[in-house]
């Protein structure tokens, strides 16, 4: 059972990256819990409306998000909560400045059994980006 849910979370992350590449923030918004919040590299948090507002704003332009690897994927025994740590390479413009960096994300997911297999993101944290030519982060 745990492996099934781990695969579901990995698929969920891959799907989120695809949706971000397509700028489909309506679908992404449906995958975020109402109490979702993100901690940015600066340490400043964003709520669900704040994150979606930033993502849809003209300040941020996604060029390409690419999954490099899953670092850790864990799910509780009941299959109702899990977390994923993964590494991406992100090409984007923020306030006109081009960025090409590698960052590590951690996401906590919850699943409401009444909603079937619908996992919702409740928390996300992004590391500071590093140059793609720098050594990759090492896990285990």
Residue-wise pLDDT tens digits, 32-49: 999 999 999 999 999 999
Per-residue pLDDT at 130: 92
The model's pTM is: 0.89
User: For the chain, what is the mean pLDDT?
Assistant: 90
Q: Which domain holds residue 33?
A: 2-126
- 137 part of a folded domain: no
CA distance 89 to 80: 29
User: Tell me, what CATH number does 12's domain have?
Assistant: 3.10.450.50
Residue 111 located in a structural domain:
yes
Task: Say if 136 falls within a structural domain.
Answer: no
Quote the pLDDT of residue 90: 92
Give a yes or no: residue 105 inside a domain.
yes
Among residues 79, 101, 103, 83, which one has the least CA distance to residue 92?
Answer: 101
* Distances in whole angstroms, Cα of residue 92 to Cα of each of 5, 8, 28, 50: 31, 27, 18, 18
Residue 135 within a domain: no
Residue 132 lies in a domain: no
For residue 115, what pLDDT band results from cuts at 50, 70 and 90?
Answer: low
| Domains in the chain, number | 1
Supply 26's token pair. Answer: 């309506």
Distance CA 29, CA 79 (A): 22
pLDDT (mean) for 67-85: 94
pLDDT tens figures, 95-111: 889 989 999 999 999 98
Nearest to residue 64, comparing CAs of 97, 93, 85, 40?
A: 93
Please tell me the predicted confidence (pLDDT) of residue 5: 87
Establish if 53 belongs to a structural domain: yes
Q: How far apart are CA 16 and CA 13, in angstroms?
A: 5
> Is 133 part of a structural domain of the chain?
no
Mean pLDDT of 90-97: 89
């Amino acid at each position: 059972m745990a492996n099934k849910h781990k695969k579901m979370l990995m698929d969920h992350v891959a799907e989120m990256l695809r949706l971000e590449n397509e700028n489909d923030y309506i679908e992404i918004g449906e995958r975020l819990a109402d109490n979702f919040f993100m901690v940015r590299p600066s340490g400043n948090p964003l709520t669900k409306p704040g994150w979606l507002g930033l993502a849809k704003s003209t300040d941020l332009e996604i060029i390409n998000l690419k999954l490099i690897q899953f670092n850790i994927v864990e799910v509780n025994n009941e299959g109702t909560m899990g977390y994923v740590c993964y590494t991406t390479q992100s090409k984007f413009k923020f306030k006109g400045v081009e960025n090409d960096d590698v960052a590590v994300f951690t996401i906590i997911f919850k699943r409401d059994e009444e909603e079937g297999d619908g996992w919702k993101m409740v928390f996300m944290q992004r590391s500071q980006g590093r140059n793609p030519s720098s050594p990759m982060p090492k896990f285990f």
